[in-house]
């Protein structure tokens, strides 16, 4: 089933850290499965949206804006 997003294109999603997301068919499903930071990204070759999957979330959100870890070593 092809679900149109608010931007008028199919909702296809890929993780910013890995290639997960091909089974997600809607924004609501992505949220329910624990995805975060979902953004419209029409220029991506493999998906219309990019986000962070539940498996990558801890690593991704543990980084500061400059890419350094917020966790002490």
pLDDT tens-digit readout, 11-62: 999 999 998 999 999 999 999 999 999 999 989 998 999 999 999 988 877 6
Domain range enclosing 28: 1-73
The pLDDT assigned to 2 comes to: 45
The pLDDT assigned to 35 comes to: 95
Residue among 28, 27, 23, 34 nearest 56 (CA): 34
- The answer, as to whether pTM is greater than 0.85, is no
The pLDDT assigned to 55 comes to: 92
Instruction: Name the domain count of the chain.
Output: 1
């Amino acid at each position: 089933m092809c679900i149109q997003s608010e931007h008028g294109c199919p909702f296809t999603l890929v993780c910013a850290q890995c290639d997960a997301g091909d089974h997600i068919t809607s924004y609501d499903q992505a949220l329910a499965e624990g995805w975060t930071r979902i953004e419209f990204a029409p220029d991506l070759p493999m998906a219309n949206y990019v986000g962070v999957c539940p498996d990558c979330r801890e690593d991704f959100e543990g980084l500061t804006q400059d890419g350094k870890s917020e966790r002490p070593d």
